Amino acid sequence: MSVKKDRQKKQKAPPAPPAPGAAADNKTPAETTHAHAGRIRFLDLPVNAVHIIAILIVVSYMGILRAPFIFDDMHVIVQNPYITSLKYLPGYMFRTHESAQMIEHAGWRPVWYASFIINYMIGGLDPLWYHVFNLIIHLANSVLIYFITLFVLKGRSERPWLGAFLAGAVFAAHPLHTESVSYIVGRSALLSAMFCLFSFYMYLLYRERRSTPFIIAACVSFLLAGMSKENAVCLPLIVVAYDYMTQGKAGRPVKAFALLFVLCALYMAARFYVIHVDVAQSATPRGFFEHWVTEAYIVPLYIMKALVPTGLNIDPDIRQIMHVTDPRLVISLLFLAAVFYGLYRLYRKERLAGFLGFWFFLAISPETVMPITDFMAEHRTYLPLAGPAVLFGLWMERLISRSPSIIGRPGLTRMGLPIAVSLIIILFAAETAARNRVYSSDVALWTDTVEKSPHKARPANALGFAYLHAGKPDEAKRYVAKAIEYEPNRPNWYFNMGIILKEQGKFAEALPYIKRTVELVPDDYVFQVGLGVTYVNLGQDEKAAECFRKAIQIQPDYPDARYNLGTYYINKGDYAAAVGQFKKAVELEPHNYRSHTNLGNAYFGMGKDGLARDELLEALKYNPDQPKIHINLANVLLRLGDKKGALTHYRLYLDNAPKDSPDTDEIRKTIGRLSREDKGR
């Protein structure tokens, strides 16, 4: 009896309604949930949802922080002298026919390139900071999805904060995003998505509050998205679709729609007629029909990978569909018909849910309509998956909130459903972490890719080069030979075989491969320099110099061509001509110690010892343990009369040079002589 009374005392009476005319303290459901936005209860403690999303990203992606540069990272970042200084940014922003020579990518992506310049200024070519940058953007996108979900669910669900958290968490952990996040140059997808999502969120706030700064922010962010990646052109379609599919006619911001579409038209016009973007560089000769029917097969593959993210592949082998009777096309069209019918029925039942499903198709449309080189790339699903992530949050929140009324055992249900949803996110995070292990090295990544695309040339070539860097040239030759077998008219494969043979010292065997490369593409400055270097190793200096001059004629700002031509002039004793080439090389690559060293050597040959000393000291800043710099600097200082400084650098040479160096005995004698002279003073 006493227990029963205690239980009755613990029961709370319902709050009394406010008196007539009194100010009501009660909050509306929307106000209540919004007040607790960002706070969830975990083990009975309030926790910030954004913190959990951040921890989820760190746990999922911590394995890639020390992953190396791979594939396109090499020419976009490592071998690109135009990310070394902000002075090159105008060339990316206001692109002309001349400045386009320094931009290998066919698109207009100045924000993307600017991010690499910032990375370089922070940490040089240490891949750690490039990965950290990508993770920060991915976190920002996951948080933006959290706030977008919080906004659109306000007034539509009992716990919008829960739906927002689940949407942000599933987006943060989804394995299909690994190519965008872990592959450094995949940052274009991250940046474009960040600015698109922020623009969409600003539009939502503008529609609610009609404040001009919000629509201005939306427009500016949209332009930044376009300058990050071209798929941003889908944003006006997403905005209009959201308004017409989920909102009433009252208060429809038609002027805002018009503004976004005008900006989109101006952006496209600027790309083609002012900035002179060459679409042909990234497009393929195949027709639109062949491309579209193949993409009709690809889109269902994206959907299946989004639902069951296994078998991920950085370079899938997709065979083009040539006929409408192809079984792959027939099955795919039936699948798409079923999906669109399901989305239509979903839209009739709940407009917001229908829109979130259609988001995927609207966002992926720019990269499926245009016939770009690769049929399929997993990074293209990054922005498209934002809508389904919000839909996941909406459905899971409702399932959890309403489950007691559906299942007869509320205690078990309240525990079981959150655990089940949590397991989905945890499994995604675990799969993401497992997928990221293949990014730990070039060999691991491309071994995985070759296993999944066994008859595609590009992964075979990439694995061959990975083995070369790992010190396994025989394995490297085996896989590059496969690439040549699969694609016999691709110049890169011959060039890479030549590089492998040169690394083995087999220059005569390498020459036919490099010459074949130049025959296939005579106007490629990189291939011209490669042929020139091969001639140098064969002792054919005049032929080498001719190749270097051709490379400079094709691309005046290629530092390797300048460096090699300058070296040719030094060997000929033409120090003045060498200085001209090395000065240009140093201007293009200010952190290249070799260019500074040889510029110093050229000045030394001209008798300009002060300038030689300055350049060699500059070279030491970038490679203080290089013995050749120390011995050259010691010789310069000795000629300048600085015997003490010369002694210091001769000793540093001995500290850093190999023990079997042929100059070691002579340097020791010089040190002994200088030491005796110093003592005799």
Look at the block and give the residue holding tokens 């600085």.
642
SS3 41: strand
| pLDDT tens by residue, 144-190 | 999 999 999 988 888 888 899 999 999 999 999 999 999 999 999 99
Specify the pLDDT at position 255.
Answer: 85
Specify the pLDDT at position 224.
Answer: 95
Q: Which domains does the chain have, with CATH numbers?
A: 40-434 (no CATH), 443-679 (1.25.40.10)
Pairing state of beta strands 45-48 and 39-42?
A: antiparallel
What is the Cα–Cα distance from 160 to 304, expressed in whole angstroms? 28
Specify the pLDDT at position 413.
Answer: 53
Average pLDDT estimate for 555-571:
93
Specify the pLDDT at position 335.
Answer: 96
Whether the CB-CB separation of 379 and 179 falls below 8 Å is answered with yes
Average pLDDT estimate for 359-370:
92
Q: What are residue 596's phi and psi, to 5 degrees?
A: -65, -40
Bridge partners, residue 47, by sequence: 40
Long-range contacts of 263-271 (CB under 8 A, 24+ apart): 263/219, 263/222, 263/223, 264/222, 264/226, 264/233, 264/235, 264/236, 267/223, 267/226, 267/233, 268/233, 270/108, 271/108, 271/230
CA distances from 428 to 215, 315, 533 (A): 36, 21, 48
What is the Cα–Cα distance from 139 to 171, expressed in whole angstroms? 10
Specify the pLDDT at position 560.
Answer: 92
Whether the CB-CB separation of 583 and 608 falls below 8 Å is answered with no
What is the Cα–Cα distance from 528 to 549, expressed in whole angstroms? 9
Kindly indicate the confidence band of residue 275, based on its pLDDT and cuts at 50, 70 and 90. low
Which of 643, 641, 638, 599 shows the shortest CA–CA distance to 617? 599
Specify the pLDDT at position 19.
Answer: 35
Higher pLDDT: 311 or 10? It is 311
Q: Is the pLDDT of residue 21 over 50?
A: no
Whether the CB-CB separation of 195 and 224 falls below 8 Å is answered with yes
Higher pLDDT: 317 or 46? It is 317
Higher pLDDT: 345 or 407? It is 345
Kindly indicate the confidence band of residue 414, based on its pLDDT and cuts at 50, 70 and 90. low
Q: Is the pLDDT of residue 313 over 70?
A: yes
Average pLDDT estimate for 425-431:
95
Specify the pLDDT at position 508.
Answer: 95
Q: Is the pLDDT of residue 494 over 50?
A: yes
| 647: its two tokens | 């002694």
Q: Is the pLDDT of residue 407 over 70?
A: no
Specify the pLDDT at position 472.
Answer: 93
| pLDDT tens by residue, 600-628 | 999 999 999 999 999 999 999 988 989 99
Specify the pLDDT at position 666.
Answer: 85
Kindly indicate the confidence band of residue 671, based on its pLDDT and cuts at 50, 70 and 90. confident
CA distances from 78 to 124, 297, 324, 469, 578 (A): 10, 36, 44, 15, 25
Q: What is the mean pLDDT of the chain?
A: 85
Kindly indicate the confidence band of residue 82, based on its pLDDT and cuts at 50, 70 and 90. confident
CA distances from 75 to 7, 103, 184, 503, 573 (A): 72, 10, 12, 20, 33
| pLDDT tens by residue, 233-267 | 999 999 999 999 998 777 788 888 888 889 888 88
Q: Torsion-angle region of residue 618: left (phi > 0), alpha (psi -120 to 50) or beta?
A: alpha
Q: What are residue 37's phi and psi, to 5 degrees?
A: -60, 135
Q: Is the pLDDT of residue 28 over 50?
A: no
| pLDDT tens by residue, 189-199 | 999 999 999 99
The residue type at 509: E
Q: Is the pLDDT of residue 7 over 90?
A: no
Q: Is the pLDDT of residue 47 over 70?
A: no
Q: Is the pLDDT of residue 15 over 80?
A: no
Q: Is the pLDDT of residue 5 over 60?
A: no
Specify the pLDDT at position 64.
Answer: 92
Range of weakest confidence among 222-226, 473-477, 546-550, 621-625 = 621-625
| pLDDT tens by residue, 639-666 | 998 988 989 998 898 888 887 777 788 8
Q: Is the pLDDT of residue 471 over 50?
A: yes
| pLDDT tens by residue, 472-491 | 999 999 999 999 999 999 99
DSSP state at residue 314: S
What is the distance of C-alpha 366 from the center of its chain?
19
Specify the pLDDT at position 300.
Answer: 96
| 36: its two tokens | 């607790």
Specify the pLDDT at position 8.
Answer: 42
Q: What are residue 378's phi and psi, to 5 degrees?
A: -65, -25
Q: Is the pLDDT of residue 26 over 60?
A: no
Query: What percentage of the chain reaches a pLDDT higher than 70?
Result: 86
CA atoms within 13 A on the CB side of 17: 3
Kindly indicate the confidence band of residue 410, based on its pLDDT and cuts at 50, 70 and 90. low
Kindly indicate the confidence band of residue 399, based on its pLDDT and cuts at 50, 70 and 90. confident
